[in-house]
Amino acid sequence: MAVYASFRMNDAHACDEARGWYGRSQQKTERLDLLLGSPVPAGVHGADWSFSWRWNYAKAEVRERFLGLFDETLTRYDFDGLELDFSRAPPFFRAGEIIENIPTLTQFIRDSREIIKHHSVSKGRELRLIIRVPVGIGENLEAGMDTETWIREGLADIVVLGSPGYCVHEIDIGKAVSCAEESGTLVFTGFDGATYTVSPQEGYERSPSSVLRATALNGYREGAAGVHLFNYDYPSHRAGPTDSNDFNIFDDYHLQTIRDLREPSSLERRNRCYYLPSPTGTGRADHRLQVPRKLALMGRGAGPEHAMRLIVHDDVESGKVEGRISKTELRLRMEDLEDSLDRIHFEVNGRSLSFTPSRTVTNSQDQQWFVFDDPPLQQGLNSVLLLLEGIETPNPWPSVQQCEIVVLTNDLT
């Protein structure tokens, strides 16, 4: 087993004034000029105090500090390489200074690569560089991280596309893999062990492994070489509630989850949940939000482009014929629906359906999901369209809070 030293490139926890237990380094308290400081974009850690305690990578001293730490770590310890975790977390530059510093951060990655090469020679064995970035390649570039160039130049041995927050559905694996055709950089799909709110499954209300399995299988089918599982050592970041809050205790369910994530052939025979997460709270989402959304009015021109989109990289119909898949479900959590039921226009993949759920599922928070059995799914991109007929403004206005496609297999788990 290879062991890597991991660096969070801009951890945000110290930005919260209320976290008195989370210390701030002497370097930061003495050199406020090296920090992002003020102002802070809305939704970013520290916005409540209009001050960010994260490093400003436009400053040469900040970059030199990290390069020195990389070199010192590999000099003092016999690691197999380094992981630079840029998913924890943007921003790295002040507003208005991002575009001009894209080359700055790319050169920083080149310099990091040179340190890896130097220590590979001095130790007489190959060391590796892993870089973890958020899930959207375009969004990464907007934050100063030219992920495509990093991959094309082979600046990292492994690039992980992993959400800074909880597990998300849409990850740009295919685009990253296409960039790696010449460099040979391995692309991993990555996610936290925790999920956003999801319907009860497999006996769990929190973070069921079915979501992780779905995300992992999608990644493999788009060319990912492996899975990077983040924060799974935390009991609160696994399917729960767990039997123990001990970080070192994993029950059979969670151990099996780890085993399953290694093999696409195992994942396709396990229950999976493809979901559109709907984060709560005021924090800025780390992915492309599709929900929550109010139902648009057909009388004002709403149409197919208003559909929610979920990717299912599995041939569901063949799976049913083979006996691998027993059934599928579409689960919708909606609010303020009762007075508008007679106006709902409902389509799945362009096929009009009656909004008549087979049943409902409710969790302990009294959140309720409508369940539609065996909707007309297809391999790849699936669209779910919910609109209101007519032009009249509803009161209250119905909304979709969450959308899930659940694939149930004949495996007991």
Look at residue 337 in the predicted model and tell me its pLDDT.
96
When pLDDT is averaged across residues 346-371 and rounded to a whole number, the result is: 98
In this predicted structure, the answer to whether residue 413 has a pLDDT above a threshold of 70 is no
pTM: 0.95
The interaxial angle of helices 60-76 and 102-123, nearest 10 deg, is: 20
Residue 23 has a pLDDT of 80
pLDDT top residue among 119 and 165: 119
pLDDT of residue 18: 85
Q: How far is 179 from 312, CA to CA, in rounded Å?
A: 23
Pairing, β 308-312 against β 380-388: antiparallel
DSSP run (H or E) holding 260: helix 252-260
The burial of 123, by beta-carbon neighbours within 10 Å (0-12 exposed, 13-18 middle, 19 or more buried), is given as middle
Mean per-residue pLDDT, 116-135: 98
Considering only CA atoms, which of 190, 204, 326, 318 is closest in space to residue 270? 326
Task: For residue range 11-49, list pLDDT tens digits in order.
Answer: 998 898 887 677 889 999 999 999 999 998 877 888 899
Residue whose entry in the numeric block shows the structure tokens 């001009």: 100
Q: Where are the domains of the chain?
A: 5-270, 293-409
What integer pLDDT is reported at residue 20 of this predicted model? Answer: 67
> Cβ of 401: how many Cβ atoms within 10 Å?
17
The CATH number assigned to the domain with range 5-270 reads 3.20.20
Which pLDDT score is estimated for 281?
58
In this predicted structure, the answer to whether residue 257 has a pLDDT above a threshold of 80 is: yes
Give the right CATH number for 293-409 from 2.60.40, 3.30.70, 2.60.120, 3.40.720. Answer: 2.60.120
* pLDDT for the residue numbered 412: 55
**Can you list the alpha helix ranges (DSSP code H) found in 102-193?**
102-123, 137-142, 147-152, 173-179
Per-residue pLDDT band for 278 (boundaries 50, 70, 90) equals confident
With a cut of 90, say whether residue 283 has pLDDT above it. no
Beta strands 399-409 and 380-388: pairing type? unpaired
Tell me the average pLDDT across 85-95: 96
pLDDT band at residue 58 using 50, 70 and 90 as cut-offs: very high
Element (H, E) at 212: helix 209-221
* Per-residue tokens: 92: 């790295």
Is residue 71's pLDDT more than 80? yes
